[in-house]
């Protein structure tokens, strides 16, 4: 490949499981771009040096995943509003001579619901299960879209209270014992925990307690239909799986590095679903 080719990456530790190279590789081929996107495993102790040499090594930027998101936040020169609100960086790019850090998880979450459940933001109070990094991105997205009543439920109440204090008005913190009551008038239930990956044990939210108009979404995408989504579907509720969040969060970075805003298509989704099936 010519040295003028545009280069981007995803880095994490480990990173071999990442679907990002398939997503960006699909778009590079679709739009006929002379570029590359590769997975690079970088241990935490080497991450700062890796970031420092990005421009020298010809990279236009890249994605950052676990465990480097907070380290990336500290290392960049400038941050977008989403990164500041979430407290983590998952996308790097050069602009105006500076290394910028952004967070596209909130964008991905909202765009996924826009595609599969139009009008979701006006559906009523939101209950968010979990108080980790993914929860921060979801709460930021909900606030950005004008959801005025956001209820965080977490096994450790103190962590939910930290997020309530971080985001302020309209956000409340609750222990799991309050979940049933909180669901009674909720229009959106979001699972941001990993609990649903292997069964419903530990998930305190029963979709049967939700009103008929409620939407249930899970940011987990392995398995594609989590037990929570299966239970919500059996209840007759609208469900949205987590794969679209992964696909849509990739869009802003690709546009910054390669100059074209890519489309999340049915073909791309089918390709990643097939890959998930192969890996499972």
Catalytic sites, residue numbers: 69
Sort residue 135 into left (φ over 0), alpha (ψ -120 to 50) or beta: alpha
Longest Cα–Cα distance of the chain, Å, equals 60
Q: Quick one: tokens of 267?
A: 């073909």
Task: Report cis status (omega within 30 of 0) of the bond before 183.
Answer: no
| φ/ψ of residue 270, rounded to 5 | -60, -40
**Alpha-carbon span 252 to 257, nearest angstrom:** 9
Map tokens 């979430």 to a residue: 86
**Alpha-carbon span 234 to 270, nearest angstrom:** 24
Q: Quick one: tokens of 238?
A: 């609208």
Name the 3-class secondary structure at 220: coil
**Alpha-carbon span 52 to 75, nearest angstrom:** 9
- CB-based contact 132:190 (threshold 8 Å): no
Instruction: Give the H or E element holding residue 154.
Output: none
**Alpha-carbon span 92 to 103, nearest angstrom:** 9
Task: Report cis status (omega within 30 of 0) of the bond before 228.
Answer: no
Q: Which residue(s) pair with 9 in the sheet?
A: 38, 62
**Alpha-carbon span 115 to 158, nearest angstrom:** 34
């Amino acid at each position: 490949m010519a040295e003028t080719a545009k280069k981007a990456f995803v880095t994490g530790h480990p990173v071999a499981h990442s679907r990002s190279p398939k997503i960006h590789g699909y778009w590079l081929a679709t739009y006929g771009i002379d570029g590359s996107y590769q997975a690079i495993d970088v241990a935490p102790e080497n991450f700062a040096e890796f970031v420092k040499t990005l421009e020298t090594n010809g990279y236009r930027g890249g994605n950052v995943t676990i465990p480097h998101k907070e380290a990336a936040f500290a290392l960049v020169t400038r941050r977008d509003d989403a990164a500041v609100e979430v407290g983590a960086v998952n996308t790097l790019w050069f602009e105006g001579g500076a290394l910028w850090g952004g967070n596209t998880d909130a964008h991905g979450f909202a765009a996924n619901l826009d595609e599969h459940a139009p009008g979701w933001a006006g559906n009523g109070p939101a209950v968010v299960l979990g108080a980790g990094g993914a929860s921060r991105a979801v709460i930021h997205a909900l606030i950005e879209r004008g959801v005025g009543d956001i209820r965080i439920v977490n096994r450790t109440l103190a962590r939910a209270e930290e997020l309530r204090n971080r985001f302020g008005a309209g956000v409340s913190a609750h222990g799991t014992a309050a979940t049933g009551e909180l669901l009674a008038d909720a229009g959106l239930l979001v699972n941001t925990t990993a609990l649903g990956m292997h069964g419903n044990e530990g998930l305190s939210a029963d979709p049967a307690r939700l009103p008929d108009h409620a939407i249930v979404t899970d940011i987990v995408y392995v398995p594609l239909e989590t037990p929570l989504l299966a239970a919500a579907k059996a209840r007759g509720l609208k469900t949205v799986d987590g794969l679209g969040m992964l696909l849509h969060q990739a869009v802003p970075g690709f546009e910054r590095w390669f100059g074209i805003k890519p489309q999340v298509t049915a073909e791309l989704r089918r390709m990643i679903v097939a890959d998930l099936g192969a890996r499972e």
